[in-house]
Amino acid sequence: MGFGRVDAHRLRPRPPLVVTDAAGRRQPVGWLALGPDALWTVPFQGQRLWRVPLGGGPARPVVRVGGFLYGLAADPGRVWLLSGSGNPDRQRTSTVRLRRLDQRRGQVTATISLPQLEVGAFRGPLGLTPGGGAVWVAGPSVGGLQGGGILLRVDPASGRVAGWLRDPPGFFPGVLAAGPRGVWVGTEAPALLHVVAA
């Protein structure tokens, strides 16, 4: 295993975007989501979601994460923040919630509780991806078989869970991608499972 030669004519890095707050202090970065006008980040050891303008200017803290972060994503109009409140080390004490934020102001416009997910001691990223007119969330299922999971389809406008698929065969919660015709989920088979709205 080795490294191939990088052709400098094909990759052109731009000057780095340094994340600084209004006082000029550098801020750490971590989880990332890209919107049309801003980059959104939550430092790995931090508890705040930051909005970093792509056109320059200071980053600003938008909302406190609270609890354990499980996912961060963006679509053209919204930012989606998936987190668990409570202690993730104790079974059934962590409530998973999905927050919808406005891309321009960073204001929370909805908080959606997802009691179908039981994260307990689960510390990996859950599946979170917007696309195809929905926000898709995947993770361990409440009351599912050992190792079972659930895939949720959330309506982005109303914030309601509009559909679910319990115990997809051997799926990986963090391996999913959405497109115009549903979502693709990676499984242990190995195979790709295509799920569409009924």
Kindly state the average pLDDT of the residues 95-110.
Answer: 91
Kindly state the average pLDDT of the residues 94-115.
Answer: 90
> Of the candidates 100, 98, 134, which has an alpha carbon nearest to the alpha carbon of residue 116?
98
Contact status, residue 73 vs residue 33, Cβ threshold 8 Å: yes
Evaluate if residue 24 carries a pLDDT over 80: yes
Contact status, residue 108 vs residue 101, Cβ threshold 8 Å: yes
Contact status, residue 36 vs residue 92, Cβ threshold 8 Å: no
Residue ranges of domains in the chain, CATH in brackets: 30-195 (2.130.10.10)
Amino acid in position 45: Q
Tokens 């731009």 sit on residue: 14
How many CA atoms lie within 13 Å of 24's alpha carbon, on the beta-carbon side? 0
Predicted TM-score of the model (pTM): 0.84
Question: Environment class of residue 133 by beta-carbon count within 10 Å: exposed (0-12), middle (13-18) or buried (19+)?
Answer: middle
Q: What is the pLDDT of residue 34?
A: 93
Going by the DSSP 8-state scheme, the letter that residue 99 receives in this structure is: E
Query: What secondary structure does DSSP assign to 58-82, as a single string?
Result: --EEEEE--SEEEEEEE-SSEEEEE
Note the pLDDT tens digit of each residue in 140-190. Answer: 888 654 557 889 999 999 999 999 998 777 777 778 899 888 999 888 888
Contact status, residue 93 vs residue 86, Cβ threshold 8 Å: yes
Contact status, residue 150 vs residue 141, Cβ threshold 8 Å: yes
For the beta carbon of residue 168, count every other beta carbon within 10 angstroms.
Answer: 19
Distance CA 131, CA 110 (A): 18
Higher pLDDT, 120 or 186: 186
Q: What is the pLDDT of residue 168?
A: 72
Contact status, residue 140 vs residue 148, Cβ threshold 8 Å: yes
What's the distance, CA 196 to chain centroid?
20
> Of the candidates 186, 182, 143, 184, which has an alpha carbon nearest to the alpha carbon of residue 166?
143
